Chains A and B, each alone.
Chain A
Amino acid sequence: MSPSLFFQIVSVEARKRMSYRVDFWINAVVGFFVQFGIAWFLWTAVYRESGAATIGGYTVNGMVLYFAAAQLLGRIARGLEMDGAISQDVYDGQLSRYLVYPAGFFRFKYAQQLGAMLPIAIQLVLCGAWVPLFIALPSDVHVTLATVAGALVAVLAANFLNFLATIPIQAVSFWADNVWSLMIAYRFLSALLGGQMVPLTVFPDWAKPVLTVLPFRFLYAFPVDTLLGRVSLLAWAGDMAILFAWCAVFGLLARVVWRRASLVYTGVGM
């Protein structure tokens, strides 16, 4: 696929996502502040009733900021708007039309996912910009231009990792018709084990080595910790290397599963 075609698809998808503007802004602003409010009430209650100054290495403001960043960056990492798009194409037979397109199916889908992500990125910047007005940056958080740049690279890579990781799950639709439940289950699990619901430092010590080995932390905890200045440059580079290794693993798995799955595709839809 030529770069111009790739960016054309990205552009079309981004415009499509912004076609209902009222929805777009309601979704962005209200959705974020509602979630932010819950995190604030929950964690201030936890710190107040426990009497602790820090939990998992975070002060109360640091914890709320972590949650806000995890919500915002998590939306980019997950590429939520395209959740289940591949399995839906298999389910209703739309996959067939991609056979005549002058582009590979996965590249097409990835371009669409990037396009769907652009409006979310705008939401992220606009909502994120307000956060420091509500909460003063605590001493355990160090946001700089370098950490913002590092988080941006990390979250883009996380988005790609998520795209690859969900292909084998969505490929189950070749045999099982409807895999919506599997995708939701994956989202629940990755949110908990990847650090979107709570920082991984809050988990008990015995669980931490397991969580470090799993790929989920690269979707949420890694970009957020990078943004909040809790990852050194050396550790960041090492984690990026592991993240790309996971991309290679899931890419290979996706290739194998997809080849087998394609053999049972009938192209008639359900």
Chain B
Amino acid sequence: MRRYLRIYANFLRFSFSRAMAFRLDFFFRVGMDAIWYAVHLAFFWLIYRHTPLLGGWNFDQVLVFTSGFFFIDAINMTVFANNIWSFPVLVNSGELDAYLVRPVSSLFFISVRDFAANSFLNLIMASGILAWAIARYPGELGVVRVVVYVALLLVGTFLGYVISMLFLVPVFWMHNASGLREIRFAIGTYGERPHQIFHGWVRTVLVTVVPLALCASVPAQVLFEGITPALLLHVVGVTAALFLAFLWIWSRALRAYASASS
């Protein structure tokens, strides 16, 4: 464990050095995410000008939910996103070889090697928005619920990473993952809306097979409606099941890997 922490500390050092080499890009990224947050909030503000509720939530509740989503996205952009984007290239170019022969978990190395230091400021910004949204919430939330909410958001972040990787792993067999990546981006929007607006089999899929609703929306439901063991068990159970399924597919994928230019 200590060895992995030491390796990760080196990843951080290299990432911050690299980010400082492109200083303008560093600030452009901050500006880009600030605009993304503003556009997202404006979108919901416009909708709530025409309806008092959306999926049973009022504007204050959607603000907390959306801020939670910003928080998850910022962690994902900082810790995983660069690695997930470059992963198919590693497979297709054969550069994955270099990761497989190292004396550390190849999945760990591939998933967290590139820490996006230029997104780190956005993580601080997103955390600030989340704290503000919770602080201005007019109802009673309680410390325990808030702590559980933040913990569930962290589980949701991990879940988002697993879902992204599951969409990309077929690159070992298909050799081109851009179509699947586009679908991942497209369906990602389902996680940006309160899950109560969906119904029928779509809602079932969103809380089980492609559990995007468990990332930010269900944690917000726990925050507003109270902690129920069944719901917590469902979130943790689905996350664990999906991660185990991913590990199984990953091991099969590595066996199918044909090395350089596969």
Residues in chain A within 8 A of chain B (CB atoms): 20, 22-24, 26-27, 30-31, 34-35, 37-38, 41-42, 45-46, 49-50, 52, 55-56, 175-182, 184-185, 188-189, 191-192, 197-198, 202-204
Contact = CB atoms under 8 A, between A and B. Distances in A.
A136 B196 CA distance: 25
A14 B31 CA distance: 34
A184 to B, nearest CB: 5
Contacts of A189: 35, 39
Nearest to B187: A34
Interface in B48-70: 49-56
Contacts of B176: 20, 22-23
A46 B54 contact: yes
A196 B46 CA distance: 13
B50 A52 contact: yes
**Chain A: interface secondary structure?**
helix
A182 to B, nearest CB: 6
Contacts of B196: 45
Give the 7 A-B residue pairs with the shortest CB-CB distance, closest first. A23-B179, A50-B51, A26-B179, A181-B28, A45-B197, A181-B32, A176-B24
A45 B55 contact: yes
A145 B56 CA distance: 41
Interface string B189-203: 110010011110010
B42 A192 contact: yes
Nearest to B29: A181
B43 interface: yes
26 contacts: A20-B178, A26-B180, A30-B183, A34-B183, A34-B189, A38-B190, A41-B198, A41-B199, A41-B202, A42-B47, A42-B197, A46-B47, A49-B51, A49-B56, A56-B50, A175-B24, A176-B25, A177-B25, A181-B28, A182-B28, A185-B28, A188-B32, A192-B39, A202-B46, A203-B46, A204-B49
Nearest to A52: B50
A66 B3 CA distance: 55
B95 interface: no
Contact of A27 (B32, B50, B182, B202): B182
Place the interface of chain B in its size category: 35 or more
Contacts of B47: 42, 46, 198, 202
B186 interface: yes
Contacts of A180: 25
B248 interface: no
B179 A20 contact: yes
Contact of B39 (A38, A45, A188, A202): A188
B28 A188 contact: no
B179 A45 contact: no
Given A22-B179, A31-B182, A49-B51, A184 B32 contact: yes
A26 B182 contact: yes
Interface string B1-43: 0000000000000000000001011001101100110010011
B189 A192 contact: no
A55 B29 CA distance: 35
Contact of B186 (A31, A192, A197, A198): A31
B82 to A, nearest CB: 12
B143 interface: no
